[in-house]
Each structure stands twice: as structure tokens, then as C-alpha cells.
């Protein structure tokens, strides 16, 4: 079966839930006391999409301003970028637009952009209207979903949509796939290449 390695970078302000989205997708877990990312963290997960395996190489970047200059190291060469904002904080949506501008100017030319409005379980304190965010995403031809890492809402769907948007001409390589039921792990790139579970979508 063809294996496609898809580098995905998460961008956005600190505290919007980037790490929580990754942990929910990879480990299906949620930690309300997760520490802010320093520099960046790396995780992987392999899923079956149609007749291929998509191995997501996920770079979760730090949201603090002092680390922003490092972002090009992580979105460079990415197949997709997930830009996350907090639906309860209008300023995080404004920051998102700056990330979009930066990607358009300095990111890979065919990068798939996905916008994730996280913490949709906190609808009672919403500051960013879903329609406004959806209209903006449509205007830049980006994927749009509202997510809740806490309640596991639209997390898998976000990555499914990325799989659907990746151009079919992306190079593939063929590997003998070993079945495994173990969880993907937070690990080095060399370890990540060893053995992973394959999740069927």
C-alpha cells in the first residue's frame, strides 16, 4: 500500500489549544493542565485514507511571540498548516490572519491551509462568530472547522479534510505495512519511522 508522509504544522497564539488538538488526534486524550509548548514538539500518526496510508508528521509550534521567528523552520516544506484560534478570544482570530499573510508570502506555494476555531464547547462565551470565521476561510480557500479538543469534536474530521485537499501528485513510496494496535507516540523522527498503528478512515 502506498505511504505518503505529510508534514503538518500547527500555528497560532499561545493558549488556543494547538497541543491539545494534536494530543487528541494522536493519543485520543485531553489534559486540561498541559504545559505551553517550548520551541516545538513533534508527533506522528498514520491513518488509512482511501487506498493509501497517510503518515502525518505533526509539528506543534510554540505560540509565544518570542518563538515566532522560528516558525519558518516548521512550516517550510509542509503539506499543510493548521492555524488555530480560540473562539472565546477575538484577538486570537486577528493573529490568525497575520499567520495567513505570512504563509502566503513565505510558505510553500501549494500548502493546504486549515483554520480551526478551537474550544467550541465554550459556546456561551464565544467572541468569534462561526459565520464570520467561515466566510474568511472561504475567501482564502481554506479548510474551516470548529473543534473541541476537550470533547473530541471535529478533530479527526480536520485531518480527513486535509487528506482530501492534498494534491494527488504528492510523491509516494511503498512500504510493507505491519499491523499494530499500539498508540502513536511523542517521539523522535527516527523512532517515529519504526512502527506505528494504521487507523482506517
Q: Round the average pLDDT of the chain to a whole number and report it.
A: 81
The pLDDT tens digits for 111-162 are 999 999 999 999 999 999 999 999 999 999 999 999 999 999 999 999 999 9
* The CATH fold of domain 2-165: Rossmann fold (3.40.50)
| Domains of the chain, residue spans | 2-165
Q: What is the mean predicted confidence (pLDDT) over 172-194? A: 39
% residues pLDDT > 70 (the chain): 73
Which pTM was predicted?
0.79
Calculate mean pLDDT across residues 41-52: 89
Give the long-range contacts of residues 141-145, CB within 8 A, separation 24 or more: 141/113, 142/100, 142/113, 142/114, 142/115, 143/112, 143/113, 143/114, 143/115, 144/114, 144/115, 144/117, 145/114, 145/115, 145/116, 145/117
Amino acid at each position: 500500500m502506498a505511504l505518503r508522509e505529510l508534514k503538518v504544522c500547527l500555528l497560532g497564539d499561545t493558549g488556543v489549544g494547538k497541543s491539545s488538538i494534536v494530543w487528541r488526534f494522536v493519543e485520543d486524550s485531553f489534559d486540561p493542565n498541559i504545559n505551553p509548548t517550548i520551541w516545538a514538539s513533534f508527533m506522528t500518526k498514520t491513518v488509512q485514507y482511501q487506498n493509501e496510508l497517510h503518515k502525518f508528521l505533526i509539528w506543534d509550534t510554540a505560540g509565544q511571540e518570542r518563538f515566532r521567528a522560528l516558525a519558518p523552520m516548521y512550516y517550510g516544506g509542509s503539506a499543510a498548516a493548521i492555524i488555530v484560534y480560540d473562539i472565546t478570544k477575538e484577538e486570537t482570530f486577528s493573529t490568525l490572519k497575520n499567520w495567513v499573510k505570512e504563509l502566503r508570502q513565505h510558505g510553500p506555494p501549494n500548502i493546504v491551509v486549515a483554520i480551526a476555531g478551537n474550544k467550541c464547547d465554550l459556546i456561551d462565551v464565544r467572541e468569534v462568530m462561526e459565520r464570520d470565521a467561515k466566510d474568511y476561510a472561504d475567501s482564502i480557500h481554506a479548510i474551516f472547522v470548529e473543534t473541541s479538543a476537550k470533547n473530541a469534536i471535529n478533530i479527526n474530521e480536520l485531518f480527513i479534510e486535509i487528506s482530501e485537499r492534498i494534491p494527488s501528485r504528492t510523491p509516494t513510496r511503498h512500504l510493507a505495512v505491519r499491523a499494530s494496535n499500539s498508540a502513536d507516540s511523542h517521539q523522535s523522527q527516527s523512532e517515529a519511522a519504526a512502527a506505528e498503528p494504521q487507523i482506517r478512515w
